[in-house]
Structure 1
Amino acid sequence: MIFGKHQVALGVLGMLIMGRVLPVWAAETADGNVQEIVITANRMENKKVDTPANVSLVSSEDLTNWNSRSVADALENVPGVRVVRNGLGTNGASVFLNGEERVLFLVDGRRVNTSMGNTSTRVTFDANTLPPVDLIDHIEIVKGGVSTVYGADAVGGVINIITKSPEKVSGKVHVGYGSWGNQQWGFDVGGKKGRTGLVAAGNREKVSYLKYKDTNGDTKKWPGQSNYTQDSLSLKLTQDFTDRDGLTFTYDYSNLDGFSPYSVVNYFSSSFVTKKTNNVSLMYDWNRNQNNSGFLRAYRNYNHYYNYGHMYEMDWAVEGQQNVALSDTNRLLAGAEFRHASANNTFYYDEKKSYDNRSFYLQDQWEFAPTWQLNTGLRYDNYHHVASRTTGSAALNKRFDEGSHAYFAWNQVFKVPNTDDLYYMADWGSGSGYFANPNLKPETGNVYTVGYDFKSSPATDWHVSAFYSDLHDAIRWVAEDSNPYAYHSLNAAREKKRGFEISATHKLNDHWDLNGSYTYVKVRKDQNGDGYERDLNYAPNYYQFGVRYHDAAWNVNLVGRAANGLSKERYGENRYLTMDLNARYTFDRHWTGFATIYNLNNAAYAEMGGAVNGQDSYPMPGRRFIVGAEYKF
């Protein structure tokens, strides 16, 4: 697919594309306008227009309209969010915000990232292991540092999955079949009797094999076995004592079994892979929807990964938070957390490793004038195995009217090494292998974000933001000059990222919606003081677009993603365009049919860098489809 950078940018923004991200949690003002409410950015309830951050919202309605079968699928439609896969379902989905892979994932405000990490990227979470989409009420995405309340390691931002709360008795089942032996089954059910409520959802997906299109235009099957089966189950049990306080118990389980060929170019025999998560939490909260609300929560996260050896991680934590109304215009948030993380790799650690972290934070939200808000915060983290540090944050918001605001935010970064960085040792002989460094320093730095949201007409919304981050002592696994097969974990680089995001949504009429976005990211690294060089693994120009038609029975979306400026050293092509088409038809109040065609234009492309002789090592699947039906009761 041949297209020019400026032509695509003008085309995308000219059309105002991509199927809107709709309001998810609303409060009605006196004049009847509906305002979006967000919590993640400040951990306090605020209107989006009063939040000094780049926030995107995905509602349960969006998840349904897009036929999303995973959180990763849904995030691909959010402006400025990049989901990177290596072509295979067994190897997970990494999410980048503002060009940054150090992203914090939360489920109902509870941290779910692993402490182990891996030796190839700074990613510490697989988005494919999140709860089933049928259990999700909405998703809040905050781009830019959010250091005070969630931890100074959230360099790129925070993605918070908010699950549904029990209401009236209802349920749904769905089944789908598609290309390459793809089968999907799922259910969700919930209800509330008196003060006791329950919601639960489960999914199963099976894939028999995968095909892709290479840069020569030939359709091929992934070599070896590429089949997998993934199951997920989540539930939430609530017991209210009054309308303002109660207990919430949650359980999240996922299990993936399948085969993982290393790549399609330098092919290694498929290895069997197992990924399992098993997370539980118990929370007591009080004074709900009040200025003096608070909570106390205990949780345990368990992760097991098998591939040529077992890797285990178990984290448990206790955290609490209290909001205090200092005045009608000033609110203070105080919180503390104790977290214990332990990890073991039966092949590559000499023994089980563990560490403790104690953290305390304060954040003040001050409306010092009727349309001005200033947020300031301090956080102290004490990682007993590495270091301790106090970090700060500040953000300023100016509301112009109920549809527009401008903001500036600054956050400090403090991210300790993953356990793999410190302890992973894989000696292949002859000096080759992976060699960890127990003396690594934490990554530190600053993240800045500035933005402006506004309406150019009652039917058109715009978002413009810019960002800059400067990271010192960035940790990378670096190959020796004399031996390209000997990798060492080092504080090897200073990393700078800067860019901007422009997005727009437009409602043509009662049936047609358009929107789109363009994101520019420049990633530069200074490896050991040798001067800044471009990171060749990242596309500087990224576009998202879509068109939506909807009426009482039909909902149809054409969505697309495009990138250019890719390095031919790391990718088979320096640009790509891929589109998905999904449709839903409601027969009656019980039955709905759905269908999705992925990669409609059968593009040859890759999201993860790696190429040999002009061919992508990790190509994305070619055109494929799934059709199915849902029954509500």
Structure 2
Amino acid sequence: MSTVSLFCWRRRALALSIAAALSPACVLADESDDADRLDEVVVTASRVEQPLSDVLAATTVFTREDIERLQPVSLHDLLRGTPGVSLTNSGGPGKQTSLSLRGTEYDHVLFLIDGVRMGSATAGAPAFQDIPLEHVERVEIVRGPVSSLYGADAVGGVIQVFTRRPDAPFSPEFGLGYGSHDSYKADAAVGGRGDAGWYALRVSHEETDGLNACRGDAETFAGCYTWEPDHDGYRNRTVSVRGGVRLGDAWEAEATVLRVDGRNDYDGTFTNEADIVQQSIGATLRYGTGGPLAWTFSAGQGRDEADDFLDGVWMTTFNTRRDQAAAQGDFAIGQGRLSVGADWRNDKVESSTPYDIDERDNLGVFGQWQQALGAHRIQVSARHDDDEQFGGKTTGTVAWGWDFTGALRLSAAWGSAFKAPAFNDLYYPGFGNPALVPESSRSLEIGLRGRHGWGGWSVNAFDSRIEDLIAYDGNLFIPDNIDRARIKGVELAADTALAGWDLRASANWLDPRNDSGGAEQDNFLPRRPRHSGRLDIDRRFADIGVGATVAASAERYDNVANTRRLGGFATTDLRVAWWMTADWSLRLTANNVFNRRYETVEWYQQPGFNWMLALRWQPVR
């Protein structure tokens, strides 16, 4: 996309955002649907259930209905272009995918699955690419610092994935799909619910030949330091189990398991194949009678495991485990609500590479007060974390909202957050620095949103300063707390209906600057586009549903010196669904239909035109 056309596209997107309308979640234009969405219960923004209309933090929600309408191939495709989100991918399906919220680092996002903290304790970042959407019920994205509730890592925000639950006494279904690059997928599920409890079991398999992930250079070995012009495939086998039981009138217990077993091929000098495992196990016990008191007790474990190979020969193993437990009490006091709690986490590394220290504990205590005062809402939270490695860290958040009309809300917030150093930063042999301190941030935000029968809209502006960023010291070749950044941005979103078509749009403006001094002062932080956006348009014609998504991203730089530029791009995806009967549907998705060639990480290719045809049996509930 040229500079002129990108500028024109941004102007059109901005006009649509202001004229059309949206709220922080996908709000439909019909008045009854609008009310249903705003009354939808979310939990991630405050660690307690509350209607979306009461949430003060900038929050986006994707429901199962959204996922089935948009027909995204992956979690990456679902999230790209949404407010505050920028993504990079290293070579197509299953390859490393990094997500940044509001321009923060890619390990500044806390990732939860059913309340269980996920991510590699060695690398410090989660593996978004390995979570298949067939198992996902909903996704909640909270933008802005949330360390005052969740502790480390929530500098840019929190993304929580909830696995599927049954919606009928008996609910079986299955699906089959085939597409480009000899890709195929299959999934099957069974579930049910009754007065005493519920259960859900789902299995899926996905496999693709993929594409040549790294284009490389045969003479200089630039890029991935090798020349392997082959197809880099990916395989994903996932099972999820979720169930709950009522224990009398006040108690309820729930357990969840999600396990991904995968195989990933890529281009590399020292390793080029990996067997991977992502696993989330959690259990929750809740007490509540609908009165002023509720208790929640939970325990879980997140695992990130990888065995790395070079042409079939084992080279290394990196396994990390995060054991965790929490207790929380919620007390209704007048028009306010007090939440207090504590959580504990133990991170452990089991690796063929020896670490001087391979285990550490963290204990956090937190409190939150939420109060409604007429047209005003206040949320105040504070937390103290005591980490076995780096000591104590205190964070806080203050948020205020004013419904100055029945349809408009003005909000403002200040918050602090931190990122704990990962085990690789601290202890990797020969390259770690055990003297590192946590990265820290302070953020200001102001927002305005409207809720109307015809749709809604939202605008959020923020200014964040991050200190003690970890970077490699050019003299000592070890990581040190030497970098700073200042990130400013504006997020716009809109949603309405026009002539029978549902329209949803978002646009992001970002100014992510290096504030460390020296030669890179005021350079743009790498791999963050300054402008991005997305437009979704959908309509249902009797038994046929059609839709399109246009996602655009401006240029970005691949290095801190801003000498390696990656061009901007726009992709167009088309989708059609045909309900052959009430229970059977056939769905075709065509992605990047204009075969746009682009990269989000230098040298690592992205898929051109590709398609997927899927058959699904899903009995009407």
Q: TM-score, length-normalised on structure 2?
A: 0.89
- Equivalent-residue separation in structure 1 for 2:294 and 2:234 (angstroms): 44
Instruction: From the superposition, tell whether residues 290 and 624 of structure 1 become closer, same or farther in structure 2 (CA, over 3 Å).
Output: farther
> Please, which runs of 5 or more residues in structure 1 have no aligned partner?
119-123, 216-220, 263-267, 427-434, 481-485, 611-616
Is contact 1:212–1:621 with CA below 8 Å preserved after alignment? no
Q: Out of 450, 463, 466, which is 1:454 matched to?
A: 450
- Equivalent-residue separation in structure 1 for 2:22 and 2:136 (angstroms): 19
4+ long deviations beyond 6 Å: 17-20, 26-33, 212-215
- Equivalent-residue separation in structure 2 for 1:582 and 1:274 (angstroms): 33
What's the CA shift for 1:507? Answer: 0.6
Q: Residue 208 of structure 1 aligns with which residue? A: 209
Q: Secondary structure at the match of 2:129?
A: helix
- Equivalent-residue separation in structure 2 for 1:417 and 1:52 (angstroms): 29
Is contact 1:179–1:626 with CA below 8 Å preserved after alignment? yes
Q: Residue 593 of structure 1 aligns with which residue? A: 586
Q: Aligned runs of 1:381-530 on 2, under 5 Å? A: 381-401=385-405, 403-425=407-429, 435-455=431-451, 458-480=453-475, 487-509=477-499, 511-527=500-516
Q: Residue 368 of structure 2 aligns with which residue? A: 363
Q: Aligned runs of 1:284-303 on 2, under 5 Å? A: 284-287=285-288, 290-303=291-304
Q: Secondary structure at the match of 1:12?
A: helix
The two structures, once aligned, show a CA RMSD in angstroms of: 2.9
Instruction: Report Cα offsets for 1:272-291 as digits up to 9, x if no partner.
Output: 11210222111111116554
- Equivalent-residue separation in structure 1 for 2:166 and 2:97 (angstroms): 30
- Equivalent-residue separation in structure 2 for 1:33 and 1:524 (angstroms): 36
Q: Residue 314 of structure 1 aligns with which residue? A: 321
Instruction: Report Cα offsets for 1:174-226 as digits up to 9, x if no partner.
Output: 111111110111122210244132112222111113168999xxxxx982340
- Equivalent-residue separation in structure 1 for 2:249 and 2:576 (angstroms): 40
1:142 counterpart letter in structure 2: V
Q: Residue 330 of structure 1 aligns with which residue? A: 336
Instruction: From the superposition, tell whether residues 175 and 80 of structure 1 become closer, same or farther in structure 2 (CA, over 3 Å).
Output: same
Q: Residue 539 of structure 1 aligns with which residue? A: 529
The answer to whether residue 558 in structure 2 is matched with residue 562 in structure 1 is no
- Equivalent-residue separation in structure 2 for 1:191 and 1:27 (angstroms): 31
What's the CA shift for 1:466? Answer: 0.7
2:505 counterpart letter in structure 1: G
Q: Residue 172 of structure 1 aligns with which residue? A: 173
- Equivalent-residue separation in structure 1 for 2:546 and 2:275 (angstroms): 36
- Equivalent-residue separation in structure 2 for 1:463 and 1:525 (angstroms): 28
Deviation larger for 383-392 or 236-245: 236-245
2:381 counterpart letter in structure 1: G
Q: TM-score, length-normalised on structure 1?
A: 0.87
2:93 counterpart letter in structure 1: G
1:325 counterpart letter in structure 2: A
Instruction: From the superposition, tell whether residues 595 and 286 of structure 1 become closer, same or farther in structure 2 (CA, over 3 Å).
Output: same
Is contact 2:215–2:229 with CA below 8 Å preserved after alignment? no
Q: Residue 239 of structure 2 aligns with which residue? A: 233
- Equivalent-residue separation in structure 2 for 1:41 and 1:224 (angstroms): 44
> Please, which runs of 5 or more residues in structure 2 have no aligned partner?
217-226, 309-314
Q: Residue 220 of structure 2 aligns with which residue? A: none
- Equivalent-residue separation in structure 1 for 2:548 and 2:21 (angstroms): 8
What's the CA shift for 1:518? Answer: 1.4
Q: Secondary structure at the match of 2:39?
A: strand
Q: Residue 103 of structure 2 aligns with which residue? A: 99
Instruction: From the superposition, tell whether residues 343 and 570 of structure 1 become closer, same or farther in structure 2 (CA, over 3 Å).
Output: farther
1:591 counterpart letter in structure 2: W
Instruction: From the superposition, tell whether residues 474 and 205 of structure 1 become closer, same or farther in structure 2 (CA, over 3 Å).
Output: same
Is contact 1:477–1:487 with CA below 8 Å preserved after alignment? yes
Deviation larger for 65-74 or 439-448: 65-74
Is contact 2:116–2:280 with CA below 8 Å preserved after alignment? no
Instruction: Report Cα offsets for 1:39-74 as digits up to 9, x if no partner.
Output: 211122333332211111111100101113433332
Q: Out of 68, 81, 84, which is 1:80 matched to?
A: 84
Instruction: Report Cα offsets for 1:564-588 as digits up to 9, x if no partner.
Output: 2434866665211111112211111
- Equivalent-residue separation in structure 2 for 1:504 and 1:570 (angstroms): 35
Instruction: From the superposition, tell whether residues 526 and 10 of structure 1 become closer, same or farther in structure 2 (CA, over 3 Å).
Output: closer
Instruction: From the superposition, tell whether residues 214 and 436 of structure 1 become closer, same or farther in structure 2 (CA, over 3 Å).
Output: closer
Q: Out of 557, 569, 578, which is 1:576 matched to?
A: 569
- Equivalent-residue separation in structure 2 for 1:631 and 1:243 (angstroms): 36
- Equivalent-residue separation in structure 1 for 2:547 and 2:289 (angstroms): 37
What's the CA shift for 1:631? Answer: 0.8
Q: Residue 261 of structure 1 aligns with which residue? A: 267
Is contact 1:450–1:467 with CA below 8 Å preserved after alignment? yes
1:228 counterpart letter in structure 2: Y
What's the CA shift for 1:23? Answer: 4.9
Instruction: From the superposition, tell whether residues 477 and 582 of structure 1 become closer, same or farther in structure 2 (CA, over 3 Å).
Output: farther
Q: Secondary structure at the match of 1:236?
A: strand
Instruction: From the superposition, tell whether residues 536 and 296 of structure 1 become closer, same or farther in structure 2 (CA, over 3 Å).
Output: closer
- Equivalent-residue separation in structure 1 for 2:456 and 2:482 (angstroms): 42
Instruction: Report Cα offsets for 1:245-268 as digits up to 9, x if no partner.
Output: 211111110011121114xxxxx4
The answer to whether residue 612 in structure 2 is matched with residue 607 in structure 1 is no
Instruction: From the superposition, tell whether residues 269 and 180 of structure 1 become closer, same or farther in structure 2 (CA, over 3 Å).
Output: farther
- Equivalent-residue separation in structure 2 for 1:139 and 1:496 (angstroms): 28
Instruction: From the superposition, tell whether residues 288 and 271 of structure 1 become closer, same or farther in structure 2 (CA, over 3 Å).
Output: farther
Instruction: From the superposition, tell whether residues 350 and 361 of structure 1 become closer, same or farther in structure 2 (CA, over 3 Å).
Output: closer
What's the CA shift for 1:77? Answer: 5.4
Is contact 2:213–2:267 with CA below 8 Å preserved after alignment? no
- Equivalent-residue separation in structure 2 for 1:626 and 1:517 (angstroms): 26
What is the number of residues matched between the two proteins? 591
Instruction: From the superposition, tell whether residues 562 and 237 of structure 1 become closer, same or farther in structure 2 (CA, over 3 Å).
Output: same
- Equivalent-residue separation in structure 2 for 1:209 and 1:287 (angstroms): 49
Q: Secondary structure at the match of 1:74?
A: helix
Q: Secondary structure at the match of 2:536?
A: strand
Instruction: From the superposition, tell whether residues 402 and 440 of structure 1 become closer, same or farther in structure 2 (CA, over 3 Å).
Output: same
2:412 counterpart letter in structure 1: F
What's the CA shift for 1:551? Answer: 3.0
The answer to whether residue 142 in structure 2 is matched with residue 138 in structure 1 is no
Is contact 2:297–2:328 with CA below 8 Å preserved after alignment? yes
Is contact 2:21–2:458 with CA below 8 Å preserved after alignment? no
Q: Residue 621 of structure 1 aligns with which residue? A: 607
- Equivalent-residue separation in structure 1 for 2:438 and 2:205 (angstroms): 39
Q: Residue 39 of structure 2 aligns with which residue? A: 35
The answer to whether residue 193 in structure 2 is matched with residue 192 in structure 1 is yes
Q: Secondary structure at the match of 2:13?
A: helix
Q: Secondary structure at the match of 1:400?
A: coil
Is contact 2:212–2:229 with CA below 8 Å preserved after alignment? no
Q: Residue 64 of structure 2 aligns with which residue? A: 60
Instruction: From the superposition, tell whether residues 32 and 206 of structure 1 become closer, same or farther in structure 2 (CA, over 3 Å).
Output: closer
Q: Residue 157 of structure 1 aligns with which residue? A: 157
- Equivalent-residue separation in structure 1 for 2:289 and 2:163 (angstroms): 17
Q: Residue 242 of structure 1 aligns with which residue? A: 248
Instruction: From the superposition, tell whether residues 114 and 270 of structure 1 become closer, same or farther in structure 2 (CA, over 3 Å).
Output: closer
